[in-house]
Amino acid sequence: MAVACTQGCAYNSQEAKEGSLLRVVTVLNPRVTDEIAPVRTAAGLRELRGASIGFVDNSKVNADIFIGRLKPLLQELYGVRPGVTVRKLAPKDELSAADLEALRKHDAVIQCFGDCGASTSMSVADGVRLESLGMPTATVCSSAFYRAARFQAAGRGMVELPLIEIPHPMHTAPRPVVHQRAEAAVEVIAEALTKRSPNGQVGQEERLPAELSLADEPSALQEFFFERGWTDGLPVVAPTHEAVRAMLLTVERDPEELLGPVPPRMRMATLRKIAVNAVMAGCRPEYFPVVLAAVEAVLDDDCRLYGIQTATNTTAPLLIVNGPAIQKLGLNARGNTFGQGCRANASIGRALQLVLRNIGGDMPGETDMSTQGQTGKFTFCIAENETENPWEPFHVEHGFKREDSTVTVIGASAGHNVFTYGCETGKEILDHLVGAMTALGHNNVIFPTGPFIVLGPEHAHTLARDGYGKPEIRRHVFEHARIPLSRFGARTVRGLRHRRSRWFAEVGDEDHIGVADDPSHIHIIVAGGAGIHSQFVPTSFSYNPVTRPVRFKP
């Protein structure tokens, strides 16, 4: 039912009835604001004396020092029995089944600590899970991420999850400061395990009806959209009934079909709401099947969308389109494929981001805690240049037919341009790629997801001419893109030996760290136009690339 809006770009319904020249347009609300059903916290401990307490070290720098100081304090001041400390492989990981089994042998659990986006969001997820299993918890997070933790807990239905706020930063705090912060927090942590007092509510969102009648004046409409936070910071297309209906007619599916909860606020996405956001992004109706496939891909567990959205990292879901959809929809796979100028690329990628914002509740400063972000958070959609690819296209490598259209998603940072000035051979091109990948600080030093190599056609053909296929390129990168551990500080090396333990266990190179644990984790596509440029795209969070078919209506 459409209602007149009396805020922002409101119109006076009486004036309209009396013949005012002001025209009215009905737009559909892109937002989902319904929260999931409340989840109760566990009952608090009757007393701490004699209670067995388990600990979670999420492998953040200084978490072990914090816990190391906390244990004797709790024992001395409250008579607790410190139990096992579970150490995660990485802060982005949730507790494993084995971890949960070990922790459930205790009376309560203390988690330390969330001092970045992913470590906070995963600690919240683990806290909710433990509390749901009947175990009281205290989840420690730093002040810069406390508010985000509250929103994330609310998204999982547990607004009263016990959260303990400590000062930020923790990663760079010297040992004496870490000890001081543990000492200052011990009383609050102890109280959280026994007194289940409310933590405070997150801010209430404005709830508007599903349809709104607004003044049909372009600048006023845009101001209304901006004021409600429906946009990504750029103007959007008004989502009218007619435009949304045109989207939905391109697929043979129920408009009320649920695609699943969308992180980080875990709100349910229907096809209709996705269509509203696709209209706002500027999509043509025929793009909608690609948008749907992209949404289905990011919701696959292998994508690890929750970590991507909540991290301080620059990661965003990168979309790669393959198959006949490229030509059918006019996607740009050639020059400037990562850049501006193509409506299909730009609006399909933007539609996914608006879905994550308006349905999933992914809001900068509330749940998206990226330190600097990147333009891929506006739109991040490319297509493979299959006509100039000397090898099989990506989707064919992964079990699809050439005549299939697909969308692949992986968590990725902005690409690193590899400019091969003066290179004449495939070997020289590979040396430049390896050189880019052996710089310090990129994600594939820490994350074992394996890099995405986006080869320009000229590079691809030179490599193919010189006898390099994709298997040979993968093997070369795997063998040569290794960084001597001597280039890192001692604390970084200790962290790498833990977070990249599979590398040391399976590859056995004790003196270097590689960009992937196995050659098969290195992914290659061909995209772009003329020029001696390729890109090394660092990846993170995703377990594997996720590929979904695009189903066009017959």
Residue whose entry in the numeric block shows the structure tokens 């470590």: 119
Q: What one-character DSSP code corresponds to residue 266?
A: T
Distances (CA, A) of 297 to 251, 301, 345, 544: 17, 9, 17, 11
Encode 177-222 in three state secondary structure.
HHHHHHHHHHHHHHHHHHCCCCCCCCCCCCCCCCEEEEECCHHHHH
Q: Given the structure tokens 């209906």, which residue do they identify?
A: 245
Beta carbons within 8 Å of 422's beta carbon, 6+ residues apart: none
State which amino acid sits at residue 68: G
Judge whether 500 and 422 are in contact, CB under 8 Å.
no
Q: Which of 442, 378, 440 is nearest to 413 (CA)?
A: 442
Helices 343-358 and 288-298: crossing angle in degrees, nearest 10, is: 50
**Vertex 307 angle, CA 124 and 61, to 5°:** 70
Is the bond leading into 364 cis (omega within 30 degrees of zero)?
no
Q: Which domains does the chain have, with CATH numbers?
A: 2-33+205-225 (no CATH), 52-194 (3.40.50.1700), 231-413+539-554 (no CATH), 414-536 (no CATH)
Model confidence pLDDT, tens digit, residues 465-517: 999 999 999 999 999 999 999 999 999 999 999 999 999 999 999 999 999 99
**Which of the 8 DSSP states describes residue 364?**
B
Between CA 411 and CA 314 the distance in angstroms is: 9
Question: CA 421, CA 64: separation in Å to the nearest integer?
Answer: 47
Q: For residue 502, what are its two tokens?
A: 């599979």
Dihedral angle sign, alpha carbons of residues 488, 491, 493, 499: negative
pLDDT at 20: 53
Token pair of 371 as six digits? 């330190």
Instruction: Extract the tokens encoding 255.
Output: 């408009």
The SS3 of residue 103 is helix
Peptide bond into 264 cis (omega under 30): yes
SS (H, E, C) 505-545: HHHCCCCEEECCCCHHHCEEEECCCCCCEEEEECECCCCCC
Q: Beta strand pairing status for 52-57 and 108-114?
A: parallel
Q: What local confidence, expressed as pLDDT, does residue 115 receive?
A: 95
Cβ atoms 352, 294 nearer than 8 A: yes
Q: Please tell me the distance from the alpha carbon of residue 348 to that of residue 331, in angstroms, as a whole number.
A: 10
What is the side-by-side strand order in the sheet with 52-57? 81-87, 52-57, 108-114, 137-142, 163-166
| Distance of alpha carbon 300 from alpha carbon 400, whole angstroms | 18
Give me the average pLDDT of each 10-residue run along the chain (554 residues).
42 42 90 88 96 97 97 97 96 95 97 95 97 97 95 92 97 96 98 83 79 94 96 97 98 96 95 98 98 98 97 97 98 97 98 98 94 97 98 98 98 97 97 97 95 98 98 98 97 95 96 98 98 98 97 94
The pLDDT value recorded for residue 200 is 61
CA atoms of 150 and 124, how far apart (whole Å):
9
The answer for residues whose C-beta is within 8 angstroms of residue 71's C-beta and 6 or more apart is: 55, 82
Q: Which of 180, 149, 144 is nearest to 70 (CA)?
A: 180
What is the predicted pLDDT for the residue at 522? 98
Query: Residue 523, Cβ neighbours under 10 Å: how many?
Result: 24
CA 177-178-181 angle, 5° bins: 85
Angle ∠(219,220,224) on CA atoms, nearest 5: 120
DSSP 440-495: TTSHHHH-TT-PEEEE-HHHHHHHHHTT--HHHHHHHHHHH-EEEGGGS-HHHHHH
Contact 117, 370 (CB under 8 A): yes
